[in-house]
């Protein structure tokens, strides 16, 4: 989960960063830093400046990224030096500033902030999402309740189409959790509608008994805290499934005086 200092989010994982910047309308300033750079450290000069800027510009999301601890993000944004500030809208990079130039950083953030205010006042009505129609809401409710544990993902458990979906499937399988899935890549109406329905902008999304649990980061936190099965309240479900399996197996074994289990059909 995000660690927050003032108005600045300290990024702990790639998944968390991707969730924070998933919306195309999100304007962000990512502060790439390293422990060896004194001014970047907590309460160092740049750290204080960034927190002040975050307070002055609440409509902009400020993220602090440890460049050496999250090399995947450093490679993605081609970070060659620290500090580096990446200004972006959603996943699209708008600007990039290398070095500890406080005045230039403040200037660029101010320009970004003014553009936010201008576009916000001009397009408030356009940004308000249209209510989902009754038919789509009904369909989404049926889908999230299609299985006690339901995963909306890219691809399917056999062939996940993104790394986050692959990791989510692996975590569920590791704890032997039975779950249903829906491939959002095959239905854009569901893909877009579920984001609004559950107010959760990214995938994969995990639901238990019709309630949203969250994404990959949430499940990883549960795993680090102990049994996912217990935390999701699925202990009873697993026990019932095991009992049903044993009952079915017993009925099968006793269905005839002599029963042959074989790998091929008999040919008479």
Per-residue pLDDT at 81 exceeds 60: yes
Q: What is the pLDDT of residue 266?
A: 45
Q: How far apart (Å, rounded) are the C-alpha atoms in residues 265 and 116?
A: 69
What percent of the residues of the chain are helix, what percent strand, and what percent coil, each to the nearest 5?
A: 45, 20, 35
Per-residue pLDDT at 1 exceeds 90: no
CATH of 135-231, picked from 3.40.30.10, 2.60.40.420, 3.40.190.10, 3.10.290.10, is 3.40.30.10
C-alpha distance from residue 189 to each of 29, 130, 154, 156, 260 (Å): 31, 13, 14, 18, 49
Per-residue pLDDT at 127 exceeds 60: no
Q: Give me the mean pLDDT over the 48-62 stretch.
A: 89
Query: Considering only 75-89, 196-210, 238-252, which range has the smallest mean pLDDT?
Result: 238-252
What are the pLDDT digits (tens) for 147-157?
A: 999 999 999 99
pTM: 0.46
User: Is 3-124's fold the same as 135-231's?
Assistant: yes
pLDDT grade, residue 268 (50/70/90)?
very low
Q: How far apart (Å, rounded) are the C-alpha atoms in residues 38 and 46?
A: 9
Q: How far apart (Å, rounded) are the C-alpha atoms in residues 68 and 82?
A: 10
The full set of domain ranges for the chain reads 3-124, 135-231
Per-residue pLDDT at 12 exceeds 80: yes
CATH of 3-124, picked from 3.40.30.10, 3.40.50.1100, 1.10.220.10, 3.30.1330.10, is 3.40.30.10
Q: What is the pLDDT of residue 123?
A: 46
Highest-pLDDT range among 13-17, 214-218, 236-240 = 13-17
Per-residue pLDDT at 241 exceeds 70: no
Query: Considering only 102-111, 113-122, 187-196, which range has the smallest mean pLDDT?
Result: 113-122
What are the pLDDT digits (tens) for 188-202?
A: 999 999 998 888 888
């Amino acid at each position: 989960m995000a660690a927050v200092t003032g108005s600045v989010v300290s990024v702990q994982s790639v998944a968390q960063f991707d969730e924070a910047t998933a919306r195309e309308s999100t304007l962000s300033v990512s502060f790439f830093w390293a422990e060896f750079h004194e001014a970047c450290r907590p309460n160092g000069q740049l750290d204080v400046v960034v927190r002040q800027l975050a307070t002055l510009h609440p409509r902009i999301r400020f993220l602090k990224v440890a460049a050496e601890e999250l090399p995947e993000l450093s490679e993605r944004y081609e970070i060659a030096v620290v500090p580096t500030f990446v200004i972006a809208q959603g996943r699209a990079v708008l600007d990039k500033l290398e070095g500890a130039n406080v005045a230039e950083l403040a200037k660029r953030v101010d320009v970004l902030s003014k553009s936010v205010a201008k576009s916000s006042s001009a397009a408030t009505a356009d940004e308000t999402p249209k209510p989902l129609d009754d038919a789509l809401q009904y369909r989404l409710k049926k889908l999230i309740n299609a299985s006690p544990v339901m995963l909306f993902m890219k691809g399917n458990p056999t062939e996940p189409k993104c790394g986050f979906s692959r990791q989510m499937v692996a975590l569920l399988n590791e704890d032997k959790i039975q779950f249903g899935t829906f491939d959002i890549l095959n239905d854009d109406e569901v893909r877009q509608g579920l984001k609004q329905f559950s107010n959760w902008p990214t995938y994969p999304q995990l639901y238990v008994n019709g309630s949203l649990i969250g994404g990959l980061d949430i499940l990883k936190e549960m795993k680090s805290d102990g049994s996912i099965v217990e935390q999701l309240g699925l202990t009873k479900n697993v026990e019932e499934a095991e009992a049903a399996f044993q009952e079915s197996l017993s009925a099968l074994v006793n269905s005839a005086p002599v029963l042959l289990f074989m790998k091929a059909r008999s040919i008479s």
